[in-house]
Amino acid sequence: MTVSPPPTRAEYCVVACAEVWRGAGEILAAPMGPVPSVGARLARLTFTPDLLLTDGEALLVDADGVVEGWLPYRQHLTLVTGGRRHVMMGASQLDRHGNQNIACIGDWGRPTRQLLGVRGAPVNTLNHATSYWVPRHSRRVFVERVDMVCGVGYDRAAEHPGTARFHHLARVVTDLCVLDFATPDHSMRLASLHPGVTVDEVREATGFPLTVPPEVPPTREPTARELHLIREVIDPGGTRTREVPR
């Protein structure tokens, strides 16, 4: 009898990403990066069968890439502004309230590093559910104050309740843990730890004080079926390990 290798850190991250779409129903998943993309397809093949997937351009596809429908850019924007989408974005910087920066490092008027630009982050965070994927949890990413606000955090959303009534930051998944905002002031909380990671390691890699509950649960382990789907069906080439090495 062949014994399947135990789950890798990357596979725990895939399952943690998939969980952001649990029970989402018929909405558009917008994963950015290999691990979130594998996670979205895993969610579609298991506990969220109505989830809509896109090829990133103009088509709706199933988890195997077979075309299911046409999704022109105008219709994509309709889903975005109508709240029928849950994006999992990256972040160059995140603060304790979920303000995200992907535009620049340093003063925006004269930055030391130019990044992607603001892109669609403000519209995403103000109109539909948003989560974040951070493949390298460090103090360079988790900062006390972001250099420029692109994605809107809970503190800024609270200042403008009329325009931010659909604002919802669900989770932050990293290579160390899962974080959420389930605190009275919607500041970041440690929700689960990946195997082999300690609370002290997460604290050391975070540039602001985290809320840490008395008991931090482990991140959910992939089931045997999920491991089969990840390894044999969705990602046999192992793209997940490029973001989270063994």
What does the DSSP assignment read for 121-167?
A: HHHHHHHSEEEEEESS-STTTB-SS-SS--B--HHHHHH-TTTTTT-
User: Which pLDDT band holds residue 3 (cuts at 50, 70, 90)?
Assistant: low
* φ and ψ at residue 227, rounded to 5 degrees: -65, -40
Q: Residue 32 pLDDT > 80, yes or no?
A: yes
* φ and ψ at residue 242, rounded to 5 degrees: -70, -30
Greater confidence (135 vs 245) lies with 135
User: Which pLDDT band holds residue 1 (cuts at 50, 70, 90)?
Assistant: very low
Residue with tokens 């951070």: 134
Chain segment 143-167, per-residue pLDDT in tens? 999 999 999 999 999 999 888 899 9
CB atoms within 10 A of CB 242: 13
Percent of the chain whose pLDDT exceeds 70: 99
Task: Give the pLDDT confidence score for residue 103 in this predicted structure.
Answer: 96
What does the DSSP assignment read for 26-51?
A: S-EEEE-SHHHHHHHHHHHHTT-TT-
For all residues of the chain together, what is the average pLDDT?
95
pTM of the shown model: 0.95
